[in-house]
Structure 1
Amino acid sequence: MNRVHDQAATGEADLHTHSTVSDGTEAPAELMRQAARAGLWGVALTDHDTTSGWAEAAAAVPETGVALIPGMELSTREGYTSVHMLAYLIDPLDEALIAETAHIRESRFTRAEAIVRSIGRDYPLTWDDVLAQTVEGTTIGRPHIADALVARGHAATRSAAFDGILHPRAGYARPHYAPDPLTGVRLIREAGGVPVLAHPGTRGAERVIPPERLEQLVEAGLFGLEIDHPENRADAKPRLRALASRFGLRITGSSDYHGTGKPNRLGECRTAPDVVEAIVAEGRGSAPVLP
């Protein structure tokens, strides 16, 4: 995963996408083909807590003409709140990161089993129903439970499942293990990667990470904030931009594409070429794969 073209020029990229390796609905190669159709210069594959889709996506670069920025969406947790950290150009063989993501994936798996057992007491749903929504090597999570609920006729869409049976108010939700965000930033940097705080404005301005906590993340090596994201609330974005300016953070744009798993459109939010170039310049763990 260190093949890089000699040409240094970069273009607009969508830096947050998911494949069937986690909770997207398209295989990594198909995602790359979709990126070509969207007219993107590059795309980052950022499956949850895994890098196992990189090889297939990289193999599709010559066919599609789309650059691949290898990445991952690392799960972290601040108290009871899930905080996702995008990790670009990490070393996929870094032992500390491998150990931590293995712990997270195992916890995701046991959490999913517990949720299914709980739902199964009230609705016809089994673990086999969930497995039928995955492929070999998938990082299993709640989206696959949602897809199983849709397949069983208990919800119309994945989003409807999250708004209904899988909503915390329904009583089936369970937490899974994840390190705190500060540990996450340090792990990413120690693995040679570039950390960006994912969609920090989805809960509104009052829930954006406090400045004092953000300062700690910056001191640990946080590179940027994913502000241009379709799920960030409009009332949160001005404060986020002010925080980015205050702490010298770069602003990224991404769709958080999941195929048909979310309404988000590939390339609807993009990262500027100069920011992509800065990420590439800082990444030490792996390199982009360019046509």
Structure 2
Amino acid sequence: MGKWLDLHMHSVYSSDGEFLPETLMQMCSSAGLRAVALADHNSTKGICEAQKAAIKLGLLYFPAIEIDCTHEKHDFHLLGYGICYDEKIFKEIEQNVYEQELERSGKILNIISELGFHFDKKLIVKSPNGVITAETIAEEVLKDLRNKDNELLLPFRRGGVRSDNPLVNFYWDFCAQGKPAYVPMHYISLGAAVNEIQKNGGAAVLAHPGANMGKNYEITKSIIETNIDGIEVYNNYHDAETTEFYEKICHEYKLIATAGSDFHGKTKPSVKLGGVEHPAAYAAYEQLMGKIRKRGGETVGCL
């Protein structure tokens, strides 16, 4: 069928997203996509806007969210597809994370400065909701001429090994869990998030696990025991070896193997809408639809 499905993208309602939901749906249509899901970080605010645009454009649309959560002291992202997005729990999750992110913003600024990176705090642009992201800080750090000889930044500059998506890679290398500028957050447990997604009509899918833990069979097995429905196997963070690792796990445990680009816009310039494809895309779509219908969840449109 060609590139027709992308189940992971972000709008301005994610603090690191670039485009309005309506614009994003127009971009999906122009890219030839037919089945899509806007899955903003801990937020359902953009769903209604995206849904209206998707209907006009003739797209099949999954109401979705990407929830930050913890499991065995590791931070993970959990995708919820087909959720009844007006439910109170999703608004509570959003408010809780938002308040923590506001408080964390200043702390990250200070730590990045203490690590020896130069930047003008007056030039740091806040996201529409007031949160300062690591990607925004990275943009100013990489532009500041005082850092031009800093060897730590060479991988993110043109031709460097991390230069494909320098801003978000800066986040993963300096601000993610276990890195020097990491500021802890208190998230809902993964098991509780799975339960909330499923009892509110949705299918729970572990997002890009390779980015969070590499290839870890034991932790993945314990996550599967929380009753997840699937794993985002096909994602821009996964190389061929990681993809094969999670393909085998999905086959072993009869989980849905989904595909999503994790498109954000300028924070991930090498990531394109519909840029992740695999032969089993239609089967995964059918399985997701089956789970959502069984639980009384929501989708809009049809193929």
Where 1:60 maps in the other structure, the secondary structure is helix
Instruction: Report if aligned partners of 2:82, 2:298 keep a CA contact under 8 Å in 1.
Output: yes
Measured after TM superposition, the shift of residue 71 of structure 1 is 0.5
Higher deviation after alignment, 122-131 or 69-78:
122-131
Q: Where in structure 2 are the equivalents of 1:237-256 lying within 5 Å?
A: 237-256=243-262
Q: Does 1:196 align with 2:205?
A: yes
CA distance in 1, matches of 2:178, 2:291: 42
Question: Structure 1 pair 104/209, CA: closer, same or farther in 2 (3 Å)?
Answer: farther
Q: Pick from 129, 140, 143: which aligns with 2:124? A: 129
Where 1:59 maps in the other structure, the secondary structure is helix
Q: Does 1:15 align with 2:10?
A: no
Q: Does 1:228 align with 2:234?
A: yes
Q: TM-score, normalised by structure 1?
A: 0.81
Q: Count how many residue pairs are aligned between Structure 1 and Structure 2.
A: 275
For residue 266 of structure 1, what is the amino acid of its counterpart? L
CA RMSD after TM alignment:
3.0
Question: Structure 1 pair 288/152, CA: closer, same or farther in 2 (3 Å)?
Answer: farther
Q: Where in structure 2 are the equivalents of 1:142-181 lying within 5 Å?
A: 142-149=134-141, 157-159=166-168, 161-162=170-171, 166=175, 171-181=180-190
Measured after TM superposition, the shift of residue 211 of structure 1 is 5.0
Question: Structure 1 pair 18/127, CA: closer, same or farther in 2 (3 Å)?
Answer: farther
Spell out, residue by residue over 1:190-235, the C-alpha distance to the aligned partner (whole angstroms, 9 max, x if none).
22211001112236754355354034122xxx11111111211332
Instruction: Report if aligned partners of 2:42, 2:90 keep a CA contact under 8 Å in 1.
Output: no
Question: Structure 1 pair 210/164, CA: closer, same or farther in 2 (3 Å)?
Answer: closer
Question: Structure 1 pair 139/95, CA: closer, same or farther in 2 (3 Å)?
Answer: farther
Corresponding residue of 1:47? 40
Higher deviation after alignment, 234-243 or 41-50:
234-243
Instruction: Report if aligned partners of 1:225, 1:250 keep a CA contact under 8 Å in 2.
Output: yes
CA distance in 1, matches of 2:63, 2:130: 17
For residue 256 of structure 1, what is the amino acid of its counterpart? D
Gaps of 5+ in 1: 1-10
Q: Does 1:187 align with 2:179?
A: no
Corresponding residue of 1:95? 88
Higher deviation after alignment, 193-202 or 110-119:
110-119
Q: TM-score, normalised by structure 2?
A: 0.78
Question: Structure 1 pair 187/163, CA: closer, same or farther in 2 (3 Å)?
Answer: closer
Q: Does 1:29 align with 2:22?
A: yes
Where 1:210 maps in the other structure, the secondary structure is helix
Identity %: 24
CA distance in 2, matches of 1:160, 1:242: 27
CA distance in 2, matches of 1:169, 1:36: 39
CA distance in 1, matches of 2:130, 2:51: 18
Where 1:107 maps in the other structure, the secondary structure is helix
Instruction: Report if aligned partners of 2:261, 2:276 keep a CA contact under 8 Å in 1.
Output: yes
Instruction: Report if aligned partners of 1:77, 1:83 keep a CA contact under 8 Å in 2.
Output: yes
Q: Does 1:269 align with 2:281?
A: no
Instruction: Report if aligned partners of 2:177, 2:184 keep a CA contact under 8 Å in 1.
Output: no
Does 1 or 2 have the higher relative contact order (CA < 8 Å, sep 6+)? 1
Question: Structure 1 pair 141/239, CA: closer, same or farther in 2 (3 Å)?
Answer: same
Instruction: Report if aligned partners of 1:43, 1:69 keep a CA contact under 8 Å in 2.
Output: yes
Question: Structure 1 pair 55/139, CA: closer, same or farther in 2 (3 Å)?
Answer: farther
Q: Does 1:213 align with 2:222?
A: yes
Measured after TM superposition, the shift of residue 18 of structure 1 is 0.8
